[in-house]
Structure 1
Amino acid sequence: MTDTAVQSNYQMKLSLQQPLTESQREILSDDALLFLERLVDRFAERIPLLLEDREQRQRQIDRGQLPDFDPETESIRHSEWKIQNIPQDLQDRRVEITGPVDRKMVINALNANVKVFMADFEDSFAPAWNEVIEGQRNLRDAVNGTIDYVNPANGKHYQLADDPAVLICRVRGLHLPEKHVLWNGKPIPGALLDFALYFYLNQKALLAKGSGPYFYLPKLQAYREAAWWSDVFSYTEDEFGLARGTIKATVLIETLPAVFEMDEILFNLKEHIVGLNCGRWDYIFSYIKTLRQYPDRILPDRQVVTMEKPFLNAYSRLLVRTCHRRGAFAMGGMAAFIPSKDPQRQAWVLNKIQTDKALEASNGHDGTWVAHPGLADTACGVFDHVLGDRKNQLDITRDNDAPITANELLAPCDGERTEEGMRHNIRVAVQYIEAWISGNGCVPIYGLMEDAATAEISRASIWQWIKHKQALSNGKVVTKALFEQMLAEEMLVLKEELGDVRFNQGRFDEAAELMAKLTTSEELENFLTLHGYEYLN
């Protein structure tokens, strides 16, 4: 296709819902939009089919067909093959930090004592249009080494250190649209916008300094979705004259269906993939959502659903074994704690980090996640001790483990459902939703750095407790009326905790309304962020 034809096509089909400012045109240039258009033209129409496959599979599960390993892909699981290769600057990923793409956060994360910063356009980010564009600008400036920031309140100056962490961009999930860019009158996939802009703006500079365009892929549920991403990557490499496998990805295994297709996901992305990651919080949400019709598999309070629980520990060990057999990294999950100024609380936090990361390291994970730079040293110390002179644990094969079965991955989880836990979940979810619809997707609440998975677990748990008439430890049966009563009472608690000014200036009534809608609906909604997106400009 000639440039003239592409330009004509672009004028007919791709439309922005609001004019770009001069500053935004630096990021969304005509050439960047033409590349985005080519991606949307070739790949967007396959996404609704992939999402419908998810719904069809869920209907089968709801009817009693529990998830299991697919007999049709048994040959992939049982044959010997490896992923293509892992670039040099991704060989050591012992600690990664995650966070949204605001300017100060990008600088602090890249300067932290970590190997990798995952810059997030997904669960810790509320994708308001201006913030999406500014986030891409911030990453471009970081890649070019020109990023800085001056705090307007105190004049403090932030700039990159000499040896920043490796940058990986997490794009939005396949289910999330970008309503500000339309194709044939419909919103384009947010994932394609995020991928297109990060790749287009940065690939030359990244490759010139010995790195590359690296991505985290969230919320995959099936190997066919991985195959779609492989096609996107291969097409992009061909368009830009790059060698096959230049684009690299790490896939988050954060849905229950995906844990049964890890070999297949690696196989279908084998030229581009470098590892899988235990996205534990979304995985817990997915366990609830996937098994929502099963009264024998209802989770207790989320605070007690830790990685020691059999179904989560089996997931961690299977991921390590599967990845290392294929030459891929097995990344551990998030420590959401944040440092405390109180000495006793800080000691408790550090002990929690040590215990959590020691379990991951002993299971054979190659690295782990933290949410705050202040906890990087502790997590790094755990992996330094286990790794010794090694950069990773690809040598830990777990070949002598007994095969992990579907029953282990689906095992019911013991623990109480308490009124205190339910009330805590309501307060946390409402605060998080209020922050998200106000444009902030990464929020410190009660000593944890929360993202969308927190509110998802909270509202899905209570929805399932209502559906199956679960009794709390004090004997109260969870009903819609009980939830609505607790919600009203906890809103008063929040108002007292936060103060009248903060509460009245916020969007707490809207957040409570959305929380109630999602928690008491007849059918369990797939993602609260789809509903929350309606509140963003």
Structure 2
Amino acid sequence: MYPTDQPITLNGVTITGPHLPRQEEILTPDALDFLASLHRQFNGRRLELLAKREDTRQRISEGWTPDFLPETRTIREDGSWRVAPLAPGLKDRRVEITGPVDRKMTINAMNSGAKCWLADFEDSSSPSWENMLNGQVNLRDAIRRQIDFTSPEGKEYALGGVQLVDRPTIIVRPRGWHLDEDHLVVDGEPMAGALVDFGLYFFHNAKELLRRGRGPYFYLPKTENHLEARLWNCIFVVAQDHLGIPQGTVRATVLIETITAAFEMEEILYQLRNHAAGLNAGRWDYIFSIIKNFRDRGEAFVLPDRADVTMTAPMMRAYTDQLVRACHRRGASAIGGMAAFIPNRRDPEANAAALEKVRADKTREASDGFDGSWVAHPDLVPVAMEVFDEVLADRQNQIRANRREDVIPDAAALLTVSETPGSITEAGVRMNIEVGIRYVESWLRGNGAAAIHNLMEDAATAEISRSQIWQWINAESSAELADGGTRTVTREWVQELMDEEFARILESGRGEGDRFDDALEVFAGSAQAEEYPDFLTLPAYRKFLSAQAPARQALAGTSV
């Protein structure tokens, strides 16, 4: 047994997290040896690429505008290369359900009827030590059909009767490169959360998945350029050799959710071509990335209220059209964005209206050539499935049928931010504040996928909320008021609204162990900071969730 009250070191990895039930099944000596090897080979390059991100951001701040890379022109212009053929379980991806890797969600996702499940260690998961380790246990059990769950209310959850090959294909999304895992330390350095999530899942499940007719498949988040994709490809090569499984067994779908990656889509596929499965239009993080990178470039890059930034905005149309073209030109799957609506069975009229919006969104994606799309709730699977069934008919995807040869890559079109219809309003500022505080409070209690106003919010939507407020303040933007007037968005006015919205939140009721005071500190500190924090979750992790966090014990026993 591991000791429960002090850090221990096994095979070069120091475990600083509290002991958890079944920890020994995941943090085995061989698995830890594998993690240590990955860290020593690749963490240095990860840190170099993170520094490159900062350099790129600084160049944008100084007036440089991203464009297609001249040094990779030959890759884009060579029409002969293709990614590897689609792997088992990845040929038909018409509906993918997304969600965190807690035990209840794992069972619900596997019973959902979707073609794939994005098992998420990233934006819909709060990265507590408990969540990350228990998520590995849950996936291991689900693959081996050994999973069940009884809720505190006594409701029982279990897998249905179909075999794994008929269930959603599991695609794991590890954490982004920027997040550390402070509870696993190698040579005095915290491991990258991405390497921990990838490494443990791959080590324990790759061979079992192959035996069951699937493979170790991944979604790669927050990628900013093709060099980051190359790093992942190197990791895949080393990992497959370590287990002695064929090269090309790993497959990865890259989320194009940063503005810089949008200019390197084909290069990203090229770097991963033996392991590439497709690209995904990660719409929420993409909007966040545009705000983040151009936050100090003036009114031309200021977006209206979050609700106004839809997929029909010119910059979003350019982004999705160019993504489908890049994927289908290279034989890869193009996967659409999230339908975040959470059905409310107590309000049939509102439910019906929302489902029609979901249907319209998925119809647009299917008509544009996407091979599949995301939903956040099992009740949305039939709606999205029906739309893609109508378009696909007897085909598994649209890779050959819808090449989007009508689309011409256009760098300028990707940055038509000022053409986004809509306006900044007092209601929009208030909504950003309320949703941001409520989401962070949920995140601090261990729940990274929060249903707020019948929408599934995750870390990306919270990033949009706080980034918009920061940009509106610093750009001295004008907001339309409820009484018909206008007002400049200032730090002082935002503070007034913050006080009012926080009071309303508390009036709606406080629960035992809630984290609203901490959430206000985190959100306000990020949205109103003099210097813009790169990620909302980084200071929150360091203060509340990491092994060194001064408030770590405050979270103990409050995870949900």
Same-fold status (TM-score > 0.5): yes
Measure the CA separation in 2 of the matches of 1:402 and 1:115.
28
Which of residues 345, 348, 352 is equivalent to 1:343?
A: 348
Q: Does 1:378 align with 2:383?
A: yes
- Indicate the residue corresponding to 2:332 in structure 1: 328
- Indicate the residue corresponding to 1:478 in structure 2: 489
Q: Does 1:286 align with 2:289?
A: yes
Shift of 1:22: 6.0
The 5-angstrom pairing of residues 403-414 of structure 1 reads 403-411=408-416, 412=418, 413-414=420-421
- Indicate the residue corresponding to 2:473 in structure 1: 466
Shift of 1:238: 1.2
Q: Any idea what the Cα deviations from partners look like across 1:334-362, whole Å, max 9, x if unmatched?
A: 00001112111111111010110011111
Q: Which runs of 5 or more residues in structure 1 are unaligned?
A: 1-9
Which of residues 469, 477, 495 is equivalent to 2:506?
A: 495
Letter aligned with residue 95 of structure 1: V
Q: Does 1:424 align with 2:428?
A: no
Higher mean C-alpha displacement, 405-414 vs 245-254: 405-414
- Indicate the residue corresponding to 2:362 in structure 1: 357
- Indicate the residue corresponding to 2:69 in structure 1: 70
- Indicate the residue corresponding to 1:389 in structure 2: 394
Shift of 1:271: 0.5
Q: Does 1:240 align with 2:243?
A: yes
Shift of 1:132: 1.0
Per the alignment, in what secondary structure is the counterpart of residue 489 of structure 2?
A: coil
User: 8 Å contact 1:432–1:451 — kept in the other structure?
Assistant: yes
Q: Any idea what the Cα deviations from partners look like across 1:12-66, whole Å, max 9, x if unmatched?
A: 8421114645621111111110111111111111111000111101111111111
- Indicate the residue corresponding to 2:129 in structure 1: 129
Shift of 1:505: 3.8
Q: Any idea what the Cα deviations from partners look like across 1:202-234, whole Å, max 9, x if unmatched?
A: 111100011000011100001000000000000
Shift of 1:404: 3.1
Letter aligned with residue 521 of structure 2: E
Letter aligned with residue 58 of structure 1: R
Q: Does 1:300 align with 2:304?
A: yes
Which of residues 447, 450, 461 is equivalent to 2:454?
A: 447
Letter aligned with residue 67 of structure 1: P
Q: Any idea what the Cα deviations from partners look like across 1:425-447, whole Å, max 9, x if unmatched?
A: 10000000011112110110000
Measure the CA separation in 2 of the matches of 1:479 and 1:375.
40
- Indicate the residue corresponding to 2:152 in structure 1: 152
The 5-angstrom pairing of residues 10-21 of structure 1 reads 13-18=12-17, 20-21=19-20
Higher mean C-alpha displacement, 159-168 vs 70-79: 159-168
- Indicate the residue corresponding to 1:7 in structure 2: none
Identity of aligned residues (%): 48
- Indicate the residue corresponding to 1:314 in structure 2: 318
Higher mean C-alpha displacement, 128-137 vs 362-371: 128-137
Q: Any idea what the Cα deviations from partners look like across 1:112-144, whole Å, max 9, x if unmatched?
A: 121001110000001111221111000000011
Per the alignment, in what secondary structure is the counterpart of residue 89 of structure 1?
A: coil
Per the alignment, in what secondary structure is the counterpart of residue 181 of structure 1?
A: strand
- Indicate the residue corresponding to 1:39 in structure 2: 38
Per the alignment, in what secondary structure is the counterpart of residue 26 of structure 1?
A: helix
Letter aligned with residue 302 of structure 2: I
Q: Which runs of 5 or more residues in structure 2 are unaligned?
A: 1-8, 546-551, 553-560
Measure the CA separation in 2 of the matches of 1:54 and 1:382.
38
Relative to structure 1, the CA distance from residue 41 to residue 388 in structure 2 (aligned partners, 3 Å threshold; closer, same or farther) is same
Which of residues 522, 526, 541 is equivalent to 1:518?
A: 526
User: 8 Å contact 1:147–1:160 — kept in the other structure?
Assistant: no
- Indicate the residue corresponding to 2:548 in structure 1: none
- Indicate the residue corresponding to 1:89 in structure 2: 89
- Indicate the residue corresponding to 2:111 in structure 1: 111
**Number of aligned residues:** 525
Measure the CA separation in 2 of the matches of 1:490 and 1:22.
40
Shift of 1:199: 0.5
The 5-angstrom pairing of residues 43-54 of structure 1 reads 43-54=42-53
User: 8 Å contact 2:83–2:332 — kept in the other structure?
Assistant: yes
- The structure where helix makes up a greater share of residues is 1
Letter aligned with residue 507 of structure 2: E
Shift of 1:522: 2.0
Higher mean C-alpha displacement, 143-152 vs 356-365: 143-152
Relative to structure 1, the CA distance from residue 314 to residue 170 in structure 2 (aligned partners, 3 Å threshold; closer, same or farther) is same
Letter aligned with residue 439 of structure 1: G
Q: TM-score, normalization: structure 2?
A: 0.92
User: 8 Å contact 2:22–2:137 — kept in the other structure?
Assistant: no
Measure the CA separation in 2 of the matches of 1:157 and 1:462.
41
Letter aligned with residue 482 of structure 1: W
Measure the CA separation in 2 of the matches of 1:495 and 1:437.
17
Q: Any idea what the Cα deviations from partners look like across 1:60-79, whole Å, max 9, x if unmatched?
A: 11111111111111111110
User: 8 Å contact 2:439–2:462 — kept in the other structure?
Assistant: yes
Relative to structure 1, the CA distance from residue 395 to residue 18 in structure 2 (aligned partners, 3 Å threshold; closer, same or farther) is closer
Relative to structure 1, the CA distance from residue 161 to residue 515 in structure 2 (aligned partners, 3 Å threshold; closer, same or farther) is same
Per the alignment, in what secondary structure is the counterpart of residue 476 of structure 1?
A: strand
User: 8 Å contact 1:441–1:451 — kept in the other structure?
Assistant: yes
